[in-house]
Amino acid sequence: MASTRGLLERHAALSANMLSVVADIPQTRLSAALRGATYLGSETEARLLTLTHRCLKIIEAILPLRIAPGDGQTLKLLVESNRTEDEIRPMILSLLEPQ
């Protein structure tokens, strides 16, 4: 959990609340795990770290657009779409091209 917590602290665009939505873990349970007050299990913690990296790559791919703070549902849709960052980026850039 230390790696996940460190990533969340360094990247303000991804909050614990957003990650809890993407991971389908109640926000209070995830917050307790990030504080070290509870243990989620090694498999869940490994999955969270993988999801955190995936979310950050997606957030980077959609720049300069941003997902609204706390909008975990939109981020979850992007994660579950199974599109790569290389597929997402051109779609975002096409939205920003002058008509």
Residue by residue, pLDDT tens for the chain (99 residues) are: 999 999 999 999 999 999 999 999 999 999 999 999 999 999 999 999 999 999 999 999 998 899 998 899 999 999 999 999 999 999 998 988 887
Report cis status (omega within 30 of 0) of the bond before 69.
no
**For position 38, what pLDDT does the model report?**
95
Separation CA 82–CA 9 (nearest Å): 26
| Domain total in the chain | 1
| Residue 11: how many other CB atoms lie within 10 Å | 14
pTM exceeds cut of 0.85: yes
**Domain range for 33:** 2-96
